[in-house]
Amino acid sequence: MSWELVFVTGGARSGKSRHAETLAAGLGDRVLYVATAEAADDEMRRRIEEHQRRRPHSWETLEARRSVGKRLRALDGAPEVVLLDCLSLLVSNALLDEAARRGEGPGLEDAAARAVGEELSDLLNWYGEAGRHLVVVSNEVGWGVVPPSRLGRIYRDLLGNANQQIAARADRVVLMVAGLPLEVKRP
């Protein structure tokens, strides 16, 4: 069997998660949904609940705000398909952890880039070793305004670079626009 890495990107509320869920369901019966979001407030809790209601009850969920590759390696019996939703929050979590650890001063950008690089390396190494389908969802941040804060600009750059790395490795890349999937890379 040929295992596939699919990258689904697009703007906020473009239909990325729904489309990724449809793709994951089509790739196999046993799906593991890796959730990187944390319910820090009521609005985020509602978003998480909406995502949970949409998913089939047979899907398993792994909540992993960081260390996704390591957490996947630690599982007993990996599923056929892993759906990571989303890379955007994984990168944000890494950046915010570094900012909390060292402050927003000099060196933050390099430290956060190392942390994000480790996350991506672990995830992609797991994918290469596991022999499983991997669907990754991420926001496209390169078409918006330049963030007014330094932290926002660091995030935009980190996520843009992470998206490029995943897209380069992916077998398929889908760009979501107003709920419509546009395949920009095919096997």
The domains of the chain are located at: 5-185
pLDDT band at 143 (very low <50, low <70, confident <90, very high): confident
**How far is CA 88 from its chain centroid?**
6
pLDDT band at 13 (very low <50, low <70, confident <90, very high): confident
Q: Considering the domain 5-185 in this protein, what is its CATH number?
A: 3.40.50.300
Q: What is the mean pLDDT of residues 66-70?
A: 96
Among the residues of 33-149, which ranges form H helices? 42-54, 68-73, 87-102, 108-130
Catalytic residue selected from 19, 51, 57, 133? 51
Residue 69 scores a pLDDT above 90: yes
Q: CA 87 to CA 16: how far, in whole Å?
A: 12
Tell whether pTM > 0.85.
Answer: yes
Q: What is the mean pLDDT of residues 148-166?
A: 96
51: annotated active-site residue: yes
Q: Give pLDDT, residue 48.
A: 72
Q: CA 92 to CA 129: how far, in whole Å?
A: 26
